[in-house]
Structure 1
Amino acid sequence: MVEIEMRPQAAKYSLEQLKKALGGDIKRESGRDVLVVDNDIAKGTIAHISFDWGVHFMVLKIKFFKEVTVRTESNDFNPLRFMYAMHGSFKHRFGVNKEERDIDQFHSLIFTNKSGGENFIHFPSNEALHVSLIQIERRSFLKKRNTNVSSLNQRLHDVFVDTDEEHRFAHYGSLNLKISDYIKKIDKLKGKGMVRALKIEALVYEILSFHIQQHNKFQKGVPLPTSLSSTELKLIRKLGNEIIKNPSFHYNLDELSLKSALSQAKLQEGFKFLYTRTVTEYVRHIRLEKARELLNKADLNISQVVYSIGFTSRSYFSKIFKEKYDISPNEYRKNVMRNMESVNMVA
């Protein structure tokens, strides 16, 4: 067991303290500080980036070869923390508790402690981890002009405005696959410098909003679908991703049910929970999004787009495209071509 004591006076010192405990080197990459470790304790990276208004984002992509417990004191630096297990799992407890709580893959944790309290995060050995951590310094964050904490549910509102750090709080979230999608978007980001940092910041706020939305659902007593297990929801999400990759395939409930070994009723319930759409509505939505993407390119005409995404009727495609985007495919295409001509004239 490796025990790491963290006493940062600010978020920017966290990596330095982790380096002292784990070894490795800190490098500057694309606006982030990245601790790279490759030794007998661990192999992987821990990246950190800070934004305005007291928002910090840390990502662990690492495998520990020994169990690791990180102990943090809530003194000089005591933010509100939002954690998410993209891959792997971890455990959490407060210093006043002996029992640890599990945070499994695709599950979240929101927590903060009283001033002077202790937090313990326990990482397993020999398990590939991908864990994200958003840290909010409440005093700075509340100064942000468009921060409207009054819109939060009462419990979370009280936590955000507790700038004197008088209360202890933890929320152990249920399965959340939407956060996973946005973490993937961060991983796929390209570019450098300010543009990349702005994109990461926007996605971090999206992730933060999903944490808050999930807590709102919990406060309202909105449960996971009772007929579906977490494993079945993950399977349905996998089907959803396959549809994104191959929108032109002829999907129907019978085949999807057979492929997933789930009943049609479970499929529909799962798609409604994950995507707020029925299976048919989801397939149509993905095809239309793909069509709009293709219409932004100059090398395909509308008929080619229609057939490439699995529709057989151009008139039906035009009808549902206009219903969804409030513009016909022809007009959309003309706008795209006009924009391309304008860009070429400027160039």
Structure 2
Amino acid sequence: MMELYVRSLPLKDVIANLAEEMKTSYDKNCNEYILNIPATYGKGLIRGINFTLGFGLIEYNCFFKEDVHIHFSLNNIHPLKFIYCSEGCLKHRFEEKEDIHQIDQFQNVVVSSSSKNGHVLIFPKNTQIRMNSLEINRTDFKTKIDCDIDNLDKRLRSVFKDLRAKHLFYYHGNYSLAMAKCIQDINSSKQKRFARRLLLEGKANEILSIQIQDFEDDQRKDSRKKILRKADLRQIENAAKILKEELAKPITIKDLAKRVGTNTTKLQEGFQHMFETSVNNYLRNLRLEFARDQLILGELNISEIAEQIGIINKSYFSRIFKEAYGLNPKELSQQIKSLAKRASLKDY
């Protein structure tokens, strides 16, 4: 295990401290400070940038050969941290506490240490980690949030107003698809120098805006949550699998949502995101594709096919099939038989 200690702020000094601890150098590019991890420690980089009004953003894209504990141990009040893990997993604990918090892929935490106590980030060995941390010096940031902070969620409002860090704060959640897109834009950015700085500053503001919405959505009861999280996509995949396997079974959107552990709003949003259509349209398309394939195989008659996809009304089945393929089931069946007959005569 390797232990590294950071005893400085702002983020440019964090990078300088880490470089000193790793006995290496770092680079500066338009006020972004970049540390390439030495081969003796592993590979990857850590880079940070400070903006105006106490705003900062740090990125960890690293692979360590041994477990690494980074101690943020300042003789000062620590920034409010918004941490997002997009690859791998890591752990966090408060310096004055023994409890360890696991942060998995697509999860985020909002943390504020109490008084001058700090944080410890624990990076497991032989694991690729991609993590971004938005860091806010609340005293400097105060001028930016004084406009209308009273409309924020009570807990979030209190942590922004806790300028002297009197209270320890920890929030753990799964970040939304909007947040995932924002983080991806940062991590895949090809801009350089001034253009990159402008992008990062804009994305830092966007992260905070999305985080406020995500946090407030998390305070709602499960049945009233509206924002789809990156982790929710597994539930959407499970719902799609159920529909494929149970074509003939009638199921309501409410029952399907319940079976996969979500609500109807998030289920519909998930299908729009993954398949660009509604749940009902997705099921209808599955049924029609199955019917078309069975007609091509020619092993079942039209009534048997309709029964297997759970459509009792034959006229309705015929109508929606023609809307999709330009021919009704009977016409397609006849066309297939005619083509097969011509092929047979040609071979003869």
TM-score normalised over the length of structure 1: 0.67
**Using the alignment, how far apart are the partners of 2:128 and 2:268 within structure 1?**
28
* Percent identity for Structure 1 against Structure 2: 24
User: Are 2:153 and 1:153 aligned?
Assistant: yes
- Contact kept, 8 Å, 2:61 with 2:128, in 1: the verdict is yes
User: Are 2:256 and 1:279 aligned?
Assistant: no
1:83 aligns with 83
2:178 aligns with 178
1:71 aligns with 71
Q: Secondary structure at the match of 1:46?
A: strand
- Contact kept, 8 Å, 1:48 with 1:57, in 2: the verdict is yes
- Contact kept, 8 Å, 1:84 with 1:106, in 2: the verdict is yes
- Contact kept, 8 Å, 2:62 with 2:129, in 1: the verdict is yes
1:307 aligns with none
Q: Secondary structure at the match of 1:276?
A: helix
**Using the alignment, how far apart are the partners of 1:104 and 1:281 within structure 2?**
22
1:48 aligns with 48
2:201 aligns with 201
Structure 1 portions without partners, runs of 5+: 240-252, 286-311, 313-347
Structure 1 residue 281: deviation in Å? 11
Q: Secondary structure at the match of 2:33?
A: strand
1:143-200 CA-to-partner distances (Å, cap 9, x unmatched) read 1277532221111111101112211111111354432211111233343333332222
Structure 1 residue 87: deviation in Å? 0.3
2:22 aligns with 22
Q: Secondary structure at the match of 1:132?
A: strand
2:301 aligns with none
Structure 1 residue 65: deviation in Å? 0.8
**Structure 1 pair 258–24 and aligned structure 2 pair: CA distance change class (3 A):** farther
**Using the alignment, how far apart are the partners of 1:44 and 1:92 within structure 2?**
20
**Using the alignment, how far apart are the partners of 1:89 and 1:110 within structure 2?**
16
Letter of the aligned partner of 2:269 in structure 1?
T
**Using the alignment, how far apart are the partners of 1:90 and 1:81 within structure 2?**
15
**Structure 1 pair 189–29 and aligned structure 2 pair: CA distance change class (3 A):** same
**Using the alignment, how far apart are the partners of 1:72 and 1:92 within structure 2?**
11
Equivalent positions of 1:288-327 (< 5 A) are: none
1:94 aligns with 94
**Using the alignment, how far apart are the partners of 2:102 and 2:268 within structure 1?**
27
User: Are 2:118 and 1:118 aligned?
Assistant: yes
Structure 1 residue 284: deviation in Å? 6.2
More off after superposition, 198-207 vs 266-275: 266-275
Structure 1 residue 49: deviation in Å? 1.1
Structure 1 residue 22: deviation in Å? 2.5
Q: Secondary structure at the match of 1:15?
A: helix
**Using the alignment, how far apart are the partners of 2:45 and 2:198 within structure 1?**
22
Letter of the aligned partner of 1:75 in structure 2?
N
- Contact kept, 8 Å, 1:9 with 1:77, in 2: the verdict is no
2:34 aligns with 34
More off after superposition, 131-140 vs 7-16: 7-16
1:189-220 CA-to-partner distances (Å, cap 9, x unmatched) read 34333333222211122222222222212333
Equivalent positions of 1:197-276 (< 5 A) are: 197-222=197-222, 233-234=233-234, 236=236, 257-258=243-244, 265-266=256-257, 272-273=265-266, 276=269
**Using the alignment, how far apart are the partners of 2:22 and 2:267 within structure 1?**
38
**Structure 1 pair 142–274 and aligned structure 2 pair: CA distance change class (3 A):** farther
**Using the alignment, how far apart are the partners of 1:273 and 1:231 within structure 2?**
12
Q: Secondary structure at the match of 2:4?
A: strand
Q: Secondary structure at the match of 1:25?
A: coil
**Structure 1 pair 158–257 and aligned structure 2 pair: CA distance change class (3 A):** same
Q: Secondary structure at the match of 2:219?
A: helix
Letter of the aligned partner of 1:26 in structure 2?
Y
**Using the alignment, how far apart are the partners of 1:99 and 1:268 within structure 2?**
29
- Contact kept, 8 Å, 2:223 with 2:263, in 1: the verdict is no
Q: Secondary structure at the match of 2:53?
A: helix
**Using the alignment, how far apart are the partners of 1:165 and 1:87 within structure 2?**
30
- Contact kept, 8 Å, 1:74 with 1:113, in 2: the verdict is no
TM-score normalised over the length of structure 2: 0.66
- Contact kept, 8 Å, 2:64 with 2:124, in 1: the verdict is yes
Structure 1 residue 279: deviation in Å? 3.5
1:134 aligns with 134
Q: Secondary structure at the match of 1:125?
A: coil
Q: Which has the larger radius of gyration?
A: 2
More off after superposition, 4-13 vs 160-169: 4-13
Aligned residues: 269
After superposition, the CA RMSD in angstroms is 3.6
Structure 2 portions without partners, runs of 5+: 279-323, 325-348
